[in-house]
């Protein structure tokens, strides 16, 4: 785990996959590492180029959604580094789902028809489209597992005011619609994703990463309906294949379970899947860059001076 010494540094937070450096009181330097997590556990081996993939997809998507709502990003001085405005975060994740997949399907297949206070229609199969996208928020846990929560509980617990919730809901559905449009142009279906928001003063900003494989699930559109009709497994681009491999090897992040051994071949497969997603989502070729910490530090320092964040 790298530890940088940027000028005017006031705080450092090491998350599951990103390290966040606070500069004075109003700037953040976010470094996307090559760490990978699943079931809220950091897996023991890193994935080459994963940080670059996440950072560059997020920058691409933040630029493509700037007309919908303001966002935190100001500069990307290195392949895996973003600099932006520090917001006061809402302690919730706005999870939005277009298809019955992942956690939604696990809940649905158990017989439940309600998720986060939202009623799910009868007669749906795994990966089917919901009649319209649903928002199923979760609490943002500093440690351990995020928990499902309803809109009513969010407001009752003061995690967002009713006024703020309406804005968050509006932004979430519009961002998801834009994400689906971008995906469709590339022959993909954005099945589900999550957004994080924060405030500067009274203004709500979109934060963190957007429409990346760590926060989203994509299906290939070609052959989707045929696969649904025959009950065949859908082809997808996301981190779900890592979760499925862990489940198949008896690991779901529960107490007493051990992360299975990750071979060099498996690490290489995961890396290639991330790169494939970058190229498929953005329509651009991936150009791998490996910079040492000294070069990253120098680039960030220069950017902070240029932005007026430090003298």
> Minimal CA–CA distance to 86: which of 27, 31, 29?
27
Residue 125 lies in a domain: yes
Residue 311 lies in a domain: no
Boundary (domain end) residue, out of 191, 222, 238: 238
130 with 189, same domain: the answer is: yes
Residue 257 lies in a domain: no
Residue 213 lies in a domain: yes
Which residues, including other chains, have CB under 8 Å from residue 227's CB and lie 6 or more apart?
Answer: 233, 234, 235
Given this model, what pLDDT does residue 95 score? 98
pTM: 0.91
134 with 165, same domain: the answer is: yes
149 with 221, same domain: the answer is: yes
47 with 124, same domain: the answer is: no
115 with 162, same domain: the answer is: yes
The number of angstroms, rounded, from the C-alpha of 306 to the middle of its chain's C-alpha atoms is 29
| DSSP codes, 4-53 | ---TTEEEEEE-SSEEEEEETTTEEEEEE-S--EETTEE-SS--TTHHHH
- 133-167 burial, b if ≥16 CB within 10 A, otherwise e? bbbbbbbeeeeeeeebbebebbeeeebbeeebbee
CATH number of residue 146's parent domain: 3.30.470.20
For strand 138-139 and strand 92-99, is the pairing parallel, antiparallel, or unpaired? antiparallel
Per-residue pLDDT of the chain (311 residues; tens, 9 = 90+): 567 889 999 999 998 899 999 999 999 999 999 999 998 899 999 999 999 999 999 999 999 999 999 999 999 999 999 999 999 999 999 999 999 999 999 999 999 999 999 999 999 999 999 999 999 999 976 655 679 999 999 999 999 999 999 999 999 999 999 999 999 999 999 999 999 999 999 999 999 999 998 889 999 999 999 999 999 999 988 788 898 899 999 999 999 999 999 999 999 999 999 998 899 999 999 999 999 999 999 999 999 999 999 87
Residue 4 lies in a domain: no
Q: Per the structure, how many domains does the chain have?
A: 2
117 with 20, same domain: the answer is: no
118 with 155, same domain: the answer is: yes
- How far apart, in whole angstroms, are the C-alpha atoms of residue 26 and residue 24? 6
Cα Rg of the chain, angstroms: 19
70 with 189, same domain: the answer is: no
Are 158 and 56 contacting, i.e. CB atoms less than 8 angstroms apart?
no
Residue 180 lies in a domain: yes
Residue 53 lies in a domain: yes
115 with 145, same domain: the answer is: yes
Are 189 and 133 contacting, i.e. CB atoms less than 8 angstroms apart?
no
69 with 114, same domain: the answer is: no
Whole domain around residue 270: which residue ranges? 9-87+263-306
H or E element that contains 196? strand 188-200
Residue 39 lies in a domain: yes
β-bridge partners, 197: 206
- How far apart, in whole angstroms, are the C-alpha atoms of residue 157 and residue 92? 11
53 with 135, same domain: the answer is: no
200 with 99, same domain: the answer is: yes
CATH number of residue 50's parent domain: 3.30.200.20
């Amino acid at each position: 785990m790298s530890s940088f010494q940027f000028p005017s540094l006031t705080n450092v937070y090491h998350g599951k996959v990103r390290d966040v450096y606070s500069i004075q009181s109003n700037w953040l330097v976010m470094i996307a590492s090559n760490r990978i997590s699943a079931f809220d556990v950091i897996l023991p081996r890193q994935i080459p180029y994963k940080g670059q993939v996440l950072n560059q997809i997020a920058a691409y998507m933040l630029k493509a959604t700037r007309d919908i709502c303001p966002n935190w990003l100001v500069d990307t001085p290195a392949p895996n580094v973003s600099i932006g405005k520090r917001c006061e975060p809402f302690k919730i994740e706005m999870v939005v789902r277009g298809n019955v997949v992942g956690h939604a399907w696990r809940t649905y297949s158990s017989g439940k028809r309600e998720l986060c206070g939202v009623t799910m229609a009868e007669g749906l199969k795994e990966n089917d489209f919901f009649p319209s996208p649903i928002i199923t928020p979760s609490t943002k846990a500093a440690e351990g597992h995020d928990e499902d929560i309803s809109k009513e509980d969010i407001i009752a617990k003061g995690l967002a005011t009713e006024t703020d919730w309406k804005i968050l809901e509006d932004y979430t559905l519009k961002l998801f619609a834009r994400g689906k449009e971008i995906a469709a142009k590339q022959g993909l279906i954005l099945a589900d994703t999550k957004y994080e928001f924060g405030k500067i003063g009274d203004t709500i900003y979109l934060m963190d990463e957007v429409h990346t494989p760590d926060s989203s699930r994509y299906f290939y559109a070609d052959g989707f309906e045929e696969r649904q009709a025959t009950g065949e497994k859908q082809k997808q681009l996301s981190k779900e294949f890592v979760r499925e491999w862990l489940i198949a090897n008896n690991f779901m992040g529960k107490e007493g379970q051990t992360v299975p051994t990750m071979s060099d071949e498996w690490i290489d497969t995961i890396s290639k899947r991330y790169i494939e997603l970058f190229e498929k989502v953005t329509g651009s070729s991936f150009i791998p860059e490996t910079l040492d910490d000294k070069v990253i530090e120098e680039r960030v320092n220069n950017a902070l001076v240029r932005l007026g964040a430090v003298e």
